[in-house]
Amino acid sequence: RIIAAIVAVTAIALIVGCTSQKPEVTEVVVLRDITDRHLVQPNADKILTLFNPRSKWNGRVFHFSDLTNVSYNQGIEVKLEAKNEWLSNELDRDKEIKGFENRLTDILGKNEREPIGQDNSSVYFPMAKELNRLAQSSSAKRILLIYSDLMENTREMSFYDGGKFRLLKTNPNELKSYFDSQVELKNLSGIIIYIIYQPKGIKEDEQFKAISEFYKNLFESKGAEVEIAASIS
């Protein structure tokens, strides 16, 4: 009887293992530029859809950080571990998911109320650091949302300087070499990047087209998939 029971349990385990889909982890990172008062703000409801809500057993990681006038900024992270549906309680899982969603919404809600607007802005350095971190992540799906006009404005590199801005079109390789000297990007294959910005006028629109195209080419050359939009569709 004992042997029969062991065989039965083993058979059930094999069937479950073959028929059930292994849970995966989706990691979403939001970088919000607070150096401009008129930038698009992250929307919690739209961001939550990126985690594929229908797959309740999948893991979820959400990381949030501001882009400011300095290169290093504190981040906030909340996680929901992946679970095996055959070894877990569905009601408990629903509560865990709700807790994750409430925490994410709370993080974005609190940061919406923070004062916005600074004289300088460090954009590339924190973006590159976060992308390199995602490149090392074991998450099955990795997404970076960048809410920014991408206007780098540090002592060494300012796109408000006409000469530096023209390099975006006349000599993008010089800019790439400069940024590589700050932080060299790793292989970004499998990472999806959304650059989100709504220009206020013609001047801002022209600036953003030039800068976003430069970054799109840079990130795609490293294997990432890049989408430029005014909001998450």
- Cβ contact 191:138 at 8 Å: no
Residue 125 in contact with residue 183, Cβ under 8 Å? yes
pLDDT of residue 119: 75
| Structure-token match 């900024």, residue found | 73
Give mean pLDDT, residues 109-122. Answer: 71
| Location of structure tokens 């939009």 | 229
Whether residue 3 has pLDDT greater than 70: no
- Strand duo 25-33 + 141-147: pairing: parallel
Q: What is the mean pLDDT of residues 115-141?
A: 90
- pLDDT category at 116 given cuts 50, 70, 90 is low
CA distances 46 to 31, 43, 204, 232, Å, are 15, 6, 25, 7
Check whether 104 has a pLDDT greater than 70.
yes
pTM surpassing 0.75? Answer: yes
Residue 5 pLDDT > 70, yes or no?
no
Half-sphere exposure for 21 (CA within 13 Å, toward CB): 7
> Within the chain, how many helices (H) and strands (E) appear?
7, 6
Q: Is the pLDDT of residue 149 over 70?
A: yes
Q: Would you state the structure tokens that stand for residue 166, as one six-digit string?
A: 């023209």
Cβ distance 225 to 193 under 8 Å?
Answer: yes
Confirm if 160 and 151 have CB atoms less than 8 A apart.
yes
Interval 184-232: pLDDT, tens: 999 999 999 999 999 989 999 999 999 999 999 999 999 999 999 999 8
pLDDT of residue 137 exceeding 90, the answer is yes
Which amino acid makes up residue 59? Answer: G
Instruction: Please state, rounded to an integer, the average pLDDT across all residues of the chain.
Output: 89
3-state secondary structure of 138: coil
Count the alpha carbons within 13 Å of 166 in the hemisphere toward its beta carbon: 4
Mean pLDDT of 144-155: 95
Q: Which residues contact 60 (CB under 8 A, 6 or more apart)?
A: 25, 26, 27, 28, 51, 79, 80, 100
Beta bridge partners of 146: 31, 195
CB atoms within 10 A of CB 178: 14
Give 54's pLDDT tier (boundaries 50, 70, 90): confident
Please, which pLDDT band fits residue 10 given cuts at 50, 70 and 90? low
- Residue 52: predicted pLDDT: 82
Tell me the CA distances in angstroms from 126 to 25, 104, 150, one per residue in order.
Answer: 23, 21, 12
Instruction: Say if residues 230 and 197 touch (Cβ distance below 8 Å).
Output: yes
